[in-house]
């Protein structure tokens, strides 16, 4: 089976600082794969390296069997989209939802915007009444729904999710996670998802990689996480720190 995403020995260096020190990961088609680790361990940097937003010094990244070059082309963004943590920062506040959803379609020269926008809003549970609202008039949860609609409107097969719900209240967080899960099932999407919250990863992902200081510590299944079947002390410490959140099976 060809991997949906394959990163091999990826190094990211900012000035002299090695933020990723040769990280490898393989995500299968249709899989939801999690990245966990303490703050600064390199989780976001790995997503950003894949998305072309962080400088890859060495190593390779392959999407559905095709190696990526230095720059990400339009075809890449038709296939891979990213959703960021902060829906306030990622959506222009003075643009209407309609305009925010039109933009990627215009960039990619896609014509059937009317149908796509209606479908995208419906899919994320927003009525057509939201279409001409400005993003600053939306709640955090509604904004994140718009950000997800914007990512989905190009019909990608892979979503890179960087703490997609950590800026939201707990009840809204659950709604957005359920939405992401529903969309993944309906569209047979592949997710690579960062969260500092092991309970979120446990709920959303089949497998995960634990990261520390720009390196992979170990890979686990969600079942390993629940039964604390882990090999590394670092992972045990992470689990201990989130005790009470991850149910012991
Ligand atoms: N543009 C940048 N320039 C310099 N250093 C950076 C840059 N982006 C990230 N770093 C550094 O790389 C390291 C990894 O950062 P990264 O954001 O990937 O961590 P993370 O695991 O996602 O953490 P968090 O959970 O806090 O978001 C950190 O030490 C960070 O300061």
The percentage of residues in the chain with a pLDDT greater than 90, rounded to a whole number, is: 82
pLDDT in tens, 183-237: 999 999 999 999 989 999 999 999 999 999 999 999 999 999 989 999 999 999 9
**Domain holding 123: CATH number?**
3.40.50.300
Helix (DSSP H) and strand (DSSP E) numbers for the chain: 10, 10
In this predicted complex, what is the ipTM?
0.95
- For the Cβ of 44 lying below 6 angstroms from any atom of ligand 1, the answer is yes
Return d(Cα 156, Cα 187) in angstroms, integer.
Answer: 9
Q: Determine, yes or no, domain membership for 35.
A: yes
Return d(Cα 33, Cα 191) in angstroms, integer.
Answer: 6
pLDDT in tens, 91-114: 787 889 999 999 999 999 998 899
Which domain, by its residues, includes 11? 5-241
pLDDT in tens, 104-143: 999 999 988 999 999 999 999 999 999 999 988 999 999 9
Q: Determine, yes or no, domain membership for 209.
A: yes
Q: 25, 45, 57, 209: which to mutate for ligand 1, most atoms within 8 A of CB?
A: 45
- For the Cβ of 37 lying below 6 angstroms from any atom of ligand 1, the answer is yes
Q: Determine, yes or no, domain membership for 192.
A: yes
Beta bridge partners of 45: none
Q: Determine, yes or no, domain membership for 69.
A: yes
Q: Determine, yes or no, domain membership for 86.
A: yes
Q: Determine, yes or no, domain membership for 28.
A: yes
- For the Cβ of 43 lying below 6 angstroms from any atom of ligand 1, the answer is yes
- In angstroms, what is the C-alpha Rg of the chain? 18
Q: 10, 15, 17, 50: which to mutate for ligand 1, most atoms within 8 A of CB?
A: 17
Q: Determine, yes or no, domain membership for 246.
A: no
Query: What total number of domains does the chain contain?
Result: 1
**In sequence order, which ranges of the chain are alpha helices (DSSP H)?**
43-51, 74-79, 87-90, 97-107, 113-123, 140-152, 170-187, 198-204, 222-226, 233-241
């Amino acid at each position: 089976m060809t991997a949906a995403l394959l990163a091999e020995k990826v190094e990211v260096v900012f000035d002299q600082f090695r933020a990723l020190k040769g990280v490898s990961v393989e995500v299968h088609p249709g899989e939801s794969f999690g990245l966990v680790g303490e703050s600064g361990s390199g989780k976001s940097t790995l997503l950003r390296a894949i998305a072309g937003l962080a400088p890859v010094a060495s190593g390779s990244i392959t999407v559905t069997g095709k190696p990526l070059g230095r720059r990400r082309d339009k075809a890449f963004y038709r296939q891979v989209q990213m959703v960021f943590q902060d829906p306030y920062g990622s959506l222009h506040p003075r643009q209407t939802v309609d305009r925010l959803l039109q933009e990627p379609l215009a960039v990619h020269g896609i014509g059937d915007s009317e149908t796509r926008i209606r479908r995208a809003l419906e899919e994320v549970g927003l009525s057509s009444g939201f279409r001409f609202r400005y993003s600053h008039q939306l709640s955090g949860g509604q904004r994140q729904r718009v950000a997800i609609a914007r990512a989905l409107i190009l019909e990608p097969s892979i979503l890179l999710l960087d703490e997609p719900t950590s800026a939201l209240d707990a009840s809204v967080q659950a709604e957005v996670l359920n939405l992401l899960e529903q969309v993944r099932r309906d569209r047979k999407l592949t997710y690579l998802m960062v969260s500092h919250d092991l309970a979120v990863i446990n709920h959303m992902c089949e497998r995960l990689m634990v990261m520390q200081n720009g390196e992979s510590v170990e890979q686990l299944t969600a079942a390993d996480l629940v039964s604390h079947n882990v090999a590394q002390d670092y992972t045990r410490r992470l689990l201990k720190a989130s005790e009470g959140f991850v149910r012991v099976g």
